[in-house]
Amino acid sequence: MNTNDEGPTDEETYGTATLNERGRLTIPKNLRDELKLEGGTIFNIVREGSDIRLVR
């Protein structure tokens, strides 16, 4: 689902993630499957103002 009303982008919303008490997030299964993400995949964490992005 594209959430940008200004035209097409590469950004899509895949659901929500909740930070658990141990500081962990779960990436939604449909996105993990689509991108072939497995346990041990390393991401860079990028802060953009108050936004956080995970970059593979």
Whether the CB-CB separation of 11 and 3 falls below 8 Å is answered with yes
Side chain identity at residue 1, one-letter code: M
Q: Please tell me whether residue 48 adopts helix, strand or coil conformation.
A: strand
For position 33, what pLDDT does the model report? 95
What is the pTM for the complete model shown?
Answer: 0.67
Question: What tokens does 9 get?
Answer: 């982008």
Distance between alpha carbon 48 and the CA centroid of its chain, in Å? 14
For position 35, what pLDDT does the model report? 94
For position 6, what pLDDT does the model report? 55
For position 13, what pLDDT does the model report? 86
Q: Please tell me whether residue 34 adopts helix, strand or coil conformation.
A: helix
pLDDT digit string, tens, across residues 1-56: 444 455 456 788 888 899 999 999 999 999 999 999 999 999 999 999 999 999 99
Domains defined along the chain, listed by start: 15-56 (2.10.260)
For position 4, what pLDDT does the model report? 45
